[in-house]
């Protein structure tokens, strides 16, 4: 997070409210190395935190209202009394931070009247979990301003609950866990059923590699019904197979054969094979064998494209062109239908890979995608 963005948030707070904020809090966006559409079935994920994210300048206000504002928003600040917060009351971006205040209140952690000004150096809607970063920066700010001591795993669950119930996006726990629990230089192996975590070393630079995040230019929303459809299919598959969740199939050889419906079988097969790929990736990272992770990333993409049907044309083009230029692995990232792709490439080949992606885009008359090098960074924190 650049100091400039924090300064901007403080400046906007002063200008808007004529007072100094009590502090500035930050939460990062995330990259998911592997483990897609496994979190809401109690499976495994392996995300890491980015340097970029969302900042919130916040201060105690007299009265009981939680007021949110963004310098990038032409609208007026949105303020709601803590007791009046209820799902359905707020729409647009303000639903994320106000949803967190609601979630804290529902859990018995009463937020104080607080004013919050939001800013970011993370692309919004690019599949890097800008919404979870907004929720988690808000969650830390509200708890610190009110002097609430909420353990981070619980804060992640509350932020996720806000997204599910207040915003209405049926997402899992991965993004909020990444924002609040990741360590710099590591990916976070999270067992979404037990909540158990392990920090797995991830230092691409030291291995002569780069992890490139390619913003495919296609935007996505997680509330458009397709994400929810996939989630329902997984639940139906688990019911049909008489297991609590698809996670229970991770260790069984004949995992999804009992599903007669071919589409349901493909959906379930993605989840079962993806969980295995996450565990295999973590095992390789523990041995420092990041380059060997490449084929697992590419297999994850094929599974998301062919079995889970959540890839999109731009992501497929990024993956194909990156691999043909010598990348060791590549895949779409996040919930699907838009956002970013992840490419693992040797450092000395990264510019060739980038050029190949740009050329493939140009051939289709698509605008060149933005590419950034992802560095596994630290989790949410108070900046000042």
| Residues designated catalytic | 175
b/e code 271-293 from CB counts within 10 Å (16+ = b): bbbbbbbbbbbbebbeeeebbbb
The one segment of 15-23, 111-119, 169-177, 373-381 that binds ligand GLA by CB under 6 A: 169-177
H helix intervals, the chain = 3-17, 95-106, 130-146, 152-161, 174-181, 226-240, 262-286, 294-306, 313-324, 350-363
Q: Is 171 in the site for ligand GLA (CB under 6 A)?
A: yes
Instruction: Tell me how far, at minimum, the Cβ of 370 lies from ligand GLA, in Å.
Output: 19
Q: Is 40 in the site for ligand GLA (CB under 6 A)?
A: yes
Whole-angstrom CA distances from 160 to 36, 48, 175 are 17, 17, 8
Q: Is 36 in the site for ligand GLA (CB under 6 A)?
A: yes
Q: Is 220 in the site for ligand GLA (CB under 6 A)?
A: no
Distance from C-alpha of 280 to C-alpha of 274, rounded to nearest angstrom? 10
What part of residues 296-335 is at the interface with ligand GLA (CB under 6 A)? 334-335
Distance from C-alpha of 135 to C-alpha of 118, rounded to nearest angstrom? 11
Q: Is 272 in the site for ligand GLA (CB under 6 A)?
A: no
| Six-digit token string for 39 | 């979190």
71, with CB counted inside 10 A (0-12, 13-18, 19+), is: middle
Q: What is the full DSSP assignment across 65-130? A: EEEEEETT--SPPEEEEGGG--TTS--STTHHHHHHHHHHHHTT-PPPSEEEEEEESS-TTSSS-H
Binding-site member from 8, 10, 12, 39 for ligand GLA (CB under 6 A): 39
Instruction: Tell me how far, at minimum, the Cβ of 171 lies from ligand GLA, in Å.
Output: 3
Please tell me the count of residues contacting ligand GLA according to CB under 6 A.
12
Binding-site member from 24, 120, 174, 330 for ligand GLA (CB under 6 A): 174
Q: Is 166 in the site for ligand GLA (CB under 6 A)?
A: no
Q: Is 175 in the site for ligand GLA (CB under 6 A)?
A: yes
Dihedral angle computed from the Cα positions of residues 171, 177, 179 and 181, in that order, rounded to the nearest 10 degrees: 180
Which of 106, 184, 164, 146 has the alpha carbon at shortest distance from 381? Answer: 184
The one segment of 12-20, 172-180, 341-349, 350-358 that binds ligand GLA by CB under 6 A: 172-180
Q: Closer to ligand GLA at the Cβ: 174 or 319?
A: 174
Q: Closer to ligand GLA at the Cβ: 22 or 39?
A: 39
Q: Is 130 in the site for ligand GLA (CB under 6 A)?
A: no
Q: Closer to ligand GLA at the Cβ: 23 or 125?
A: 125
Binding-site member from 99, 172, 204, 369 for ligand GLA (CB under 6 A): 172
Q: Closer to ligand GLA at the Cβ: 113 or 335?
A: 335
Cα atoms in the Cβ-side hemisphere of radius 13 Å centred on 54: 34
Q: Is 135 in the site for ligand GLA (CB under 6 A)?
A: no
Q: Closer to ligand GLA at the Cβ: 113 or 172?
A: 172
Binding footprint of ligand GLA on the chain (CB under 6 A): 36-37, 39-40, 129, 171-172, 174-175, 222, 334-335
């Amino acid at each position: 997070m650049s100091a400039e963005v924090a300064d901007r948030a403080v400046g906007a707070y002063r200008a808007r409210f004529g007072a100094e904020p009590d502090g500035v809090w930050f939460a990062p966006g995330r990259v998911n190395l592997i483990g897609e559409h496994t979190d809401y079935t109690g499976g495994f994920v392996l995300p890491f935190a980015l340097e970029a994210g969302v900042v919130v300048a916040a201060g105690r206000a007299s009265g009981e209202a939680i007021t949110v504002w963004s310098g990038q928003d032409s609208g007026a600040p949105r303020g709601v009394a803590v007791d009046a917060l209820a799902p359905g009351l707020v729409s647009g971006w303000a639903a994320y931070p106000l949803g967190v205040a609601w979630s804290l209140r529902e859990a018995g952690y009463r937020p104080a009247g607080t004013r919050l000004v939001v800013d970011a150096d993370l692309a919004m809607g690019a599949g890097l979990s800008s919404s979870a970063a907004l929720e988690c920066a808000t969650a830390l700010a509200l708890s610190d301003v009110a002097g609430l001591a909420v353990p981070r795993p619980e804060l992640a669950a509350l932020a996720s609950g806000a997204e599910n119930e207040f915003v209405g996006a049926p997402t899992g726990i991965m993004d909020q866990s990444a924002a609040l629990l990741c360590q710099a230089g590591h990916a976070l192996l999270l067992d979404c059923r037990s909540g158990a975590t392990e920090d797995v070393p991830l230092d691409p630079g030291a291995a002569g590699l780069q992890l490139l995040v390619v913003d495919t230019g296609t935007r996505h929303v997680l509330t458009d019904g397709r994400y929810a459809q996939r989630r329902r299919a997984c639940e139906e598959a688990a019911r049909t197979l008489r297991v609590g969740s698809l996670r229970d199939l991770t260790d069984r050889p004949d995992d999804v054969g009992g599903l007669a419906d071919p589409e349901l079988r493909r959906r379930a097969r993605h989840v079962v094979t993806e969980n295995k790929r996450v565990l295999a990736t973590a095992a390789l990272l523990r041995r420092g064998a990041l380059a060997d992770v490449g084929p697992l990333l590419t297999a994850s993409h094929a599974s998301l494209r062919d079995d889970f049907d959540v890839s999109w044309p731009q992501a497929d083009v990024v993956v194909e062109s990156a691999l043909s230029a010598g990348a060791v692995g590549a895949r779409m990232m996040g919930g699907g239908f838009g956002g970013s792709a992840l490419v693992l490439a040797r450092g000395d080949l990264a510019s060739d890979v980038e050029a190949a992606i740009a050329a493939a885009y140009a051939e289709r008359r698509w605008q060149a995608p933005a590419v950034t090098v992802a560095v596994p960074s630290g989790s949410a924190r108070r900046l000042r």
